[in-house]
């Protein structure tokens, strides 16, 4: 009987061990799959946004939770790759692609020439007024039709409606009876796509979701009227119609007053989201911008750098007031918020793009950095941080900037350890 229990315990231990090993292997495979698909995804596509978000969401989670996040993200990314709308008309030049229904995106729209009409246009309504205008001038229809609502989306006609021209130089601008042909300013919006008939109730629900998103992202404020983009005509089958509900937004202006005298520093310490977030907390630091440096490819994208083939590191460019904080103090904080003993990695992020490095801008920065490294070594830390002359810093895409400000509550693998005070044990 005793032997039977011994065998059972050994079997249970074996299953637990192999199960754990399989889970770890699965996580590594899924992580690599996410990174590979992100590297091949078009910049700022729905697919890239979904996979980038998954990598952020997975930080700090246990193995089972990470697997679930990556599995869901890969399926959603596949849906995004395969998604398309029933197009009846072309989009204006430079217009962003429609997004996967239900996915909230921040999008920027270019300057566009539009024919605009307000609500009070007589018995034939806004649409027919605009249709008559472009028909008389032999101007081809484009997608979408833009409908603006002040305040809440209501069952009544929108406050204004616009047809878009294919190019800014197409046709003549000016006032034509009830129609105003004008050029819009570039616009940033938070947007959500809807599939199916243009129901006011669905559009109001979408507006509520966007408002909730704004409440969760205090770094943005609404800067214009709610608008609905209708991509299909009234004759399209209801279930094949596609629309987007959007709220124009603008960033909240920083309250930091820039100093007349500033200095610059460049650091690499793993994922730039966490390094940026931690260094922004330091008194005297004015701005921190995420970017790429140290490689041999001009103007790389995030997808390029993720391959590990460009030689770039994810870096932060720090602008600070030397009257309030010194380079030595900024560099000390840098060494305390990442692990300078990890070679070509930082926590779960592995690759030369996540290396630890200081890119010095002058001999004084080089000297100070080398002295700090010697202090850390005397404290028992096997520092592998590279000290390299600075090269061009390429700014990362907008969705990487102030990432943890835009996504409060997300865990970060960067936190402060007082390495200059506490010896390594």
Task: List the beta bridge partners of residue 360.
Answer: 389
Q: Which of 329, 332, 316 is closest to 375 using CA atoms? A: 332
Output the six-digit token pair for 402: 């102030």
The catalytic position among 20, 271, 306, 413 is 271
Q: How far apart are CA 385 and CA 405, in angstroms?
A: 27
CA proximity to 334, closest of 295, 365, 303: 365
**CB atoms < 10 A from the CB of 24, how many?**
12
Q: Report the phi/psi class of residue 138: left, alpha or beta, with left for phi > 0 and alpha for psi in -120 to 50.
A: left
Active site residue 20: no
Q: Which residue has the tokens 């990487």?
A: 400
User: What are the residues whose beta carbons fall under 8 Å from the beta carbon of 339, sequence distance 6 or more?
Assistant: 346, 347, 356, 417
The Cα 104–Cα 163 span in angstroms is 24
What CA–CA distance (Å, rounded) separates 410 from 373? 31
Among the listed residues 265, 366, 367, the one whose alpha carbon sits nearest the alpha carbon of residue 322: 265
Concatenating the DSSP letter of every residue in 348-364 gives TEESGGG-EEEEESSHH
Compute the distance between CA of residue 296 and CA of residue 316 in angstroms, rounded to an integer.
Answer: 18
Cβ contact 164:209 at 8 Å: no
Structure tokens at 103: 């996915």
**Torsion of Cα atoms, 300 then 305 then 309 then 313, to 10°:** 100
∠ CA 71-75-76, rounded to 5°: 115
Q: Which residues contact 65 (CB under 8 A, 6 or more apart)?
A: 58
Q: Which residues are catalytic?
A: 271
């Amino acid at each position: 009987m005793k032997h039977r229990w011994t065998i059972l315990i050994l079997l249970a231990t074996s299953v637990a061990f192999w199960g754990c090993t399989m889970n770890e292997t699965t996580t590594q495979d899924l992580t690599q799959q996410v990174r590979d698909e992100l590297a091949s995804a078009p910049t700022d596509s729905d697919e890239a946004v979904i996979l980038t978000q998954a990598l952020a969401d997975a930080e700090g989670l246990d193995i089972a939770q990470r697997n679930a996040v990556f599995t869901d993200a890969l399926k959603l990314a596949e849906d995004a790759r395969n998604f398309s709308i029933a197009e009846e008309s072309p989009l204006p030049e430079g217009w962003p692609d429609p997004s996967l229904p239900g996915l909230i995106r921040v999008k920027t729209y270019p300057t566009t020439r539009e024919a605009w009409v307000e609500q009070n246009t007589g018995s034939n309504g806004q649409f027919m007024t605009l249709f008559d205008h472009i028909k008389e001038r032999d101007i081809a229809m484009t997608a979408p039709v833009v409908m603006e609502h002040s305040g809440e989306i209501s069952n009544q006609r929108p406050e204004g409606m616009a047809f878009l021209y294919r190019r800014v130089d197409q046709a003549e601008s000016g006032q034509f009876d009830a129609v105003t042909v004008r050029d819009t300013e570039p616009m940033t919006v938070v947007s959500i796509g809807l599939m199916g008939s243009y129901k006011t109730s669905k559009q109001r629900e979408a507006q509520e979701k966007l408002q909730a998103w704004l409440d969760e992202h205090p770094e943005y404020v609404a800067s214009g009227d709610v608008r609905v983009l209708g991509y299909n005509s009234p004759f399209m089958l209801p279930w094949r119609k596609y629309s987007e509900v959007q709220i124009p937004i603008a960033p909240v202006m920083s309250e930091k007053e820039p100093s007349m005298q500033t200095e610059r520093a460049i650091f690499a310490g793993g994922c730039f989201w966490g390094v940026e977030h931690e260094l922004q907390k330091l008194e005297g630091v004015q701005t921190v911008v995420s970017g790429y440096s140290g490689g041999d490819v001009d103007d790389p994208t995030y997808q390029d750098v993720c391959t590990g083939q460009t030689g770039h590191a994810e870096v932060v460019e720090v602008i600070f007031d030397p009257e309030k904080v010194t380079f030595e103090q900024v560099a000390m904080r840098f060494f305390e918020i990442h692990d300078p003993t990890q070679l070509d990695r930082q926590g779960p992020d592995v690759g030369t793009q996540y290396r630890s490095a200081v890119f010095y801008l002058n001999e004084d920065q080089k000297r100070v950095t080398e002295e700090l490294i010697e202090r850390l070594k005397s404290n028992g830390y096997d520092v592998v941080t590279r000290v390299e002359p600075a090269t061009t810093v390429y700014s990362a895409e907008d969705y990487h900037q102030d990432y943890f400000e835009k996504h409060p509550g997300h865990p970060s693998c960067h936190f402060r350890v007082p390495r200059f005070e506490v010896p390594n044990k």
